Structure 1
């Protein structure tokens, strides 16, 4: 189990034990980290992850609170974060993406209307320089969906969308826990976009392969660390 997972489990246990309930405020970060025997950084990452899925509510200048979710939903949400990357079936979806999506990207470099390619640039621009992880993942899903649609093959586009959606949680967790992933993802999207603009199918396909393989390699390393 990773250090961040340890922190998530510790917060979860406080709720299970009744020490924290919906609407309760968490102790000060320094105090809670010391009490749980965790670094402040790992505790901070856990809070970020749990706030992303609305288990915790971080109020600037006020503190961090447990949400008013029903206890059963609260536990399900925490399990969602902690358990998903222990299920290696997501690797099979990433492997399939790595095979299928570059082909769709190559086709899009030939068939996608230039107006639609330019719209991809506007999609990336709308994120700004410092998007949140959830904004990045939503944009990522839309970016790849549009490219697959641009392939001109409806069956292939549907397949890509299905595979992409099944790896969304892995991409979210990577964004939360891997340093520099936001900048790397934006840079890789920009490179793919340029290949589409220049009508370079082989380049676009290769860039898509590298882009998807990055998530797959990260998850493989994460699963090895968990064992």
Structure 2
């Protein structure tokens, strides 16, 4: 019903009895299916009103995958970083032709926050927001949602680098500035290259550390 388009965002799901009759399933099976889809963010139960299809926003549907990414991060941080590098480059490329003056102003504010923040967690939060804003500016909600999930799996590496690399802030500022200038000029190729190089810098740092990637 969902895949065929019979039900869409905000629509009310038929009752358990109706679904059981239509699909020749026991009501227990129907109940379990509804419970599973609810845990995935596809359905939501409203007390006294029934069960409804959610707005099916990509980020909501992908929230559950963040746990999977966290597991993968511990097993193979390299593949997570490689995925982020590819997605960041694509997001920056798409944003170059679409980003607004207001969004560029927000990027400048986030860069200023990263430069002035004394707390590492605050700096990382601004860094994540910087990249989220670029992804959102590209206009592809699915890409932005996937990138947000993948980027969350690299937070530990960012924090470790911030604690151990004395030049991390200086490099990050220069790399963010290059990305910003490419976006300001509307240069998609330069924006993609700068974004990829930014993530590659973290990968290079991981290669130089003595710890095993699986421990990052």
TM-score, structure 2 as length reference: 0.61
Q: Determine helix, strand or coil for the equivalent of 1:126.
A: helix
> Cα 1:199–1:216, aligned 2, differ >3 Å: closer, same or farther?
same
**1:111 has 2:98 as partner:** yes
- Which residues in structure 2 correspond to 1:65-144 (within 5 Å)? 87-129=74-116, 131-144=118-131
In structure 2, what is the equivalent of residue 171 of structure 1? 158
Q: Is the 8 A contact 1:136 1:182 kept in 2?
A: no
Residue 88 of structure 1 and its aligned partner are, at CA, apart by 4.6
Q: Is the 8 A contact 1:175 1:182 kept in 2?
A: yes
Q: Is the 8 A contact 1:88 1:223 kept in 2?
A: no
Q: Distance in 1 between matches of 2:212 and 2:124?
A: 24
- Which residues in structure 2 correspond to 1:1-227 (within 5 Å)? 87-129=74-116, 131-222=118-209
Deviations 1:46-86 (A, max 9, x none): xxxxxxxxxxxxxxxxxxxxxxxxxxxxxxxxxxxxxx9x9
Deviations 1:157-176 (A, max 9, x none): 00110110000001000110
Unaligned runs of 5+ in 2: 1-70
Q: Distance in 1 between matches of 2:186 and 2:163?
A: 34
Residue 218 of structure 1 and its aligned partner are, at CA, apart by 1.4
Residue 225 of structure 1 and its aligned partner are, at CA, apart by 6.6
* Cα RMSD for the two superposed structures: 2.3
Q: Is the 8 A contact 1:102 1:205 kept in 2?
A: yes
Residue 131 of structure 1 and its aligned partner are, at CA, apart by 3.7
Q: Is the 8 A contact 1:103 1:205 kept in 2?
A: yes
Q: Is the 8 A contact 1:127 1:136 kept in 2?
A: yes
Deviations 1:175-218 (A, max 9, x none): 10012101111121111111111111111110001100011121
> Cα 1:137–1:122, aligned 2, differ >3 Å: closer, same or farther?
same
Unaligned runs of 5+ in 1: 1-83
Q: Is the 8 A contact 2:78 2:213 kept in 1?
A: no
Q: Distance in 1 between matches of 2:144 and 2:213?
A: 34
TM-score, structure 1 as length reference: 0.58
Residue 226 of structure 1 and its aligned partner are, at CA, apart by 8.0
Q: Is the 8 A contact 1:106 1:205 kept in 2?
A: yes
Residue 129 of structure 1 and its aligned partner are, at CA, apart by 4.3
Q: Is the 8 A contact 1:108 1:148 kept in 2?
A: yes
Number of aligned positions between the proteins: 143
